[in-house]
Amino acid sequence: MTETTTTEPWLDSNQKPYIQIVNVTKKFGDFTAIDNLSLDIYKNEFFSLLGPSGCGKTTLLRMLAGFERFTEGRVLVDGEDISEIPPHLRPINMMFQSYALFPHLTVEKNIAFGLKQDKLPDNVINQRVEEMLELVELTDFAKRKPGQLSGGQSQRVALARSLAKQPKLLLLDEPLGALDKRLREQTQFELMDIQEKLEVTFVIVTHDQEEAMTVSSRIGVMDSGKLIQVATPTQIYEAPINREVADFIGDVNIFKGIYKGQDEKGTQLLSEDSKSIIYATQKVDVPVGNRIWFALRPEKLEITRKLPEVDCNILKGKIEDIGYGGSFSTYHVKLKNGRQLTAIRANRERTAEHHLTWGDEVYLHWAPHSAVVLLS
C-alpha cells in the first residue's frame, strides 16, 4: 500500500485519468439508479466502490462492462469513448460475483475462452493459459471442471479467466464475497499482489468496508446513486466528510451540539450529551450557533479509572458492556444522560492489572486533534 500512497496521481493535475465517467445517469423506469455521477480513475489504480446494497455500485460496474446502457452521460477509457461499444468489443473484463464459470468447460478451457474469441494462434493461447494457471497456482487443476473445484479455487479460475485477455480495466463484483473470512483476508493480499504484478487497473465493488480499506488505492463511497466521498482509505476513515460516511466506514461516536466558536484549544462544541464544551483541533467556517457534529473513532477514546491529567474533553460514565476481542476489548460506556459511547482498548498486558470490569466508574477522554468536525 505504501507505493500507492507515494504516487497519488489524483493529486497531480498533469496526470490524465485513465477511466473517465462523465455525468452518467441510469434510470430504470422512474427509479434513478445512478444520478449524474462523474468519476476519474487513474492507471493502475485499485479503486473500490463501497456502499450499502441498492446504492447503485453494481449498476455502475455493469455499465462499465457494457451490460447496462446508461440513460445519459458517457464513459471514456484511455481517451476513447466506449459508451456505444457492445460488451464483447470493450477492452474491459469482469469477474462476476457468482464467478460465472462455464460448467461444461475445463479450467484451462474456461481461461482460454476469451483468448479463442480473439483468434490468437494456439501456441499463444496455451502459453497464456499456462501463465495464468501459474499466477493463480492452479496448474494441477487445469483439466478439472468447475463443479470439481472448491469455492476458493473457483474464485481463482474466475480471476485468471478475466485477466487472461490483459484487459485495460478489470471489474470485480464482490470478488471475495463467497469466501470464508480467513480465505478472504488471504485472498485480499493475493489480489493486491496480482494487481501490482500485472499493472491492470482494478475497479472493485464491495459492501465490506474492511476489504475496501485493505485493498484499495482509493475508495468511492456511494449512496442512492451518488458518490458521497472519493478518497484514500486513510482519508475516508480519519476524515469522513459527513456523518453518513463516518457511520458507514467503521464504528464511530458522534457528538451532536452547537458551535460556540474557536479558542486556543480549538473548535468549541456545546455537547448535547454532557452539557459542557468539548474541543476538536480542526477549524470550521460556519457561524457561531450552528449545529455541528464531532466524530470520534472508538480507538481514539481513552478509557481510564483515574481522572486523566488533561484540561479538556473528559466525560464520566459507567461500563455497561465489555466485548473481549482477543487483541482488543470493546467497552460500552454509559454517560449520565444515558448516552452510550464505544471505546476500544488494545489488550497489551496478558493479565491486566488495571482491569476494567462491568459497572466500573470510568473517565473517557480524547486529544482534540483526534476528533473530526462534521457539518452535515
Partner 1 sequence: MNIKEIQVPSFLRRAFNGRNAAISIPYLWLLLLFLFPFVIVLKISLAQPVIAMPPYTPLFSWGDSLWPKIQAGLDSYLFLFSDSLYIKAYLSSIKIATISTVLTLIIGYAIAYSIARAPTRWRGILLMLVILPFWTSFLIRVYAWIGILKTEGLLNLALMTLGIIEKPLIIMNTDLAVYIGIVYSYLPFMILPLYANLEKMDMNLLEAAADLGCRPFKTFWNVTIPLSLPGILAGCFLVFIPVIGEFVIPDLLGGTKTLMIGKVLWGEFFYNRDWPVASAVAIIMLLLLVVPIIFYQKSQEKAIS
Determine contact, residues 288/260, Cβ cutoff 8 Å.
yes
Nearest to 341 by CA among 280, 284, 299, 305: 299
Which listed range, 50-58, 92-100, 234-242, 316-324, lies at the site for partner 1 (CB under 8 A)? 92-100
Rounded to the nearest angstrom, the gap between the alpha carbon of residue 137 and the centroid of all alpha carbons in its chain is: 27
Compute the distance between CA of residue 204 and CA of residue 216 in angstroms, rounded to an integer.
Answer: 9
Choose between 156 and 365: whose C-beta lies nearer to partner 1: 156
Which residues are CB-neighbours of 154 under 8 A, at least 6 positions away? 99, 101, 146
Distance CA(91)–CA(82), nearest Å, equals 9
Contact flag: residue 88 with partner 1 (CB under 8 A):
yes
How many residues bind partner 1 (CB under 8 A)? The answer is 24
At residue 142, φ and ψ (nearest 5 deg) are: -55, -35
Least gap, CB of 186 to partner 1 (angstroms) = 25
Could you say which residues in the range 47-66 bind partner 1, by CB under 8 A?
65-66
Residue owning grid cell 455541528: 292
Under rule CB under 8 A, residue 198 binds partner 1: no
Pinpoint the alpha helices (H) of the chain. Answer: 2-6, 57-65, 107-117, 122-135, 151-163, 181-198, 209-215, 233-238, 243-248
Window 137 to 166, contacts with partner 1 (CB under 8 A): 161-162, 165
Q: Which of residues 209-268 bind partner 1 (CB under 8 A)?
A: none
**Residue 114 interacts with partner 1 (CB under 8 A): yes or no:** yes
Q: Which stretch binds partner 1 (CB under 8 A): 73-81, 91-99, 223-231, 313-321?
A: 91-99
Distance CA 164, CA 248 (A): 35
Choose between 19 and 236: whose C-beta lies nearer to partner 1: 19
Q: Does 121 bind partner 1 (CB under 8 A)?
A: no
Per CB under 8 A, the list member of 12, 28, 54, 102 interacting with partner 1 is 102
Contact positions toward partner 1, by CB under 8 A? 65-67, 86-89, 92-94, 96, 98, 100-104, 113-114, 117-118, 161-162, 165
